[in-house]
Amino acid sequence: MRASVSPSHPHGGGHLRLARFGETLALWWLRLKGYRLEARNWRCPLGELDLVMRSRHVLVFVEVKTRTSLSVGLPEEAVSAGKKAQLLRVAQAYLSQRRGPVSFCRFDVVAVEVHGFFPRLRHYRGAFSRKESGRS
């Protein structure tokens, strides 16, 4: 029996399902920590924001990386300098279309490992800044 591959995604449907599963775990975990959801999978021509959350007066852009194996490295290691720069551009587009004032923004990463019985999540608050993304 052959596995079907989704033509709309280069890695097939399984990769996308895993990513969405990781995002759902991260969303619920952040909600338990007191964060409120503002947007999920927000898209524009520049890319996508996995989660946009609020933590009191801070708007938090959350990149979620999910892995079932560590053979290619830790999930958080997938947030490269190029990915950081892209997230910054997409966040700027989000802010330009958003209504209401924002006093402070932050970029977080949630790493999700889904192997074994219980998933493991790690939350990196303020994982990177504009300076680290290659912008000044």
Asked whether the predicted pLDDT for residue 9 surpasses 70, the reply is no
Q: What is the pLDDT of residues 53-64, one digit of tens each?
A: 999 889 999 999
Q: Which CATH number fits domain 22-128: 3.90.1180.10, 3.40.1350.10, 3.30.70.360, 3.40.50.2020?
A: 3.40.1350.10
d(CA 65, CA 135) in angstroms, rounded, equals 23
Q: For the whole model, what pTM was predicted? A: 0.83
Mean pLDDT over 82-100 rounds to: 94
**Average per-residue pLDDT in the chain?**
86
Asked whether the predicted pLDDT for residue 50 surpasses 80, the reply is yes
Please return the burial class of 109, using the count of CB atoms within 10 Å of its CB with bins 0-12, 13-18 and 19+: buried
Q: What is the pLDDT of residue 136?
A: 39
Asked whether the predicted pLDDT for residue 21 surpasses 50, the reply is yes
Q: What is the pLDDT of residue 3?
A: 36
Q: What is the end-to-end Cα distance of the chain in Å, rounded?
A: 52
Q: What is the pLDDT of residues 108-126, one digit of tens each?
A: 999 999 988 899 999 999 9
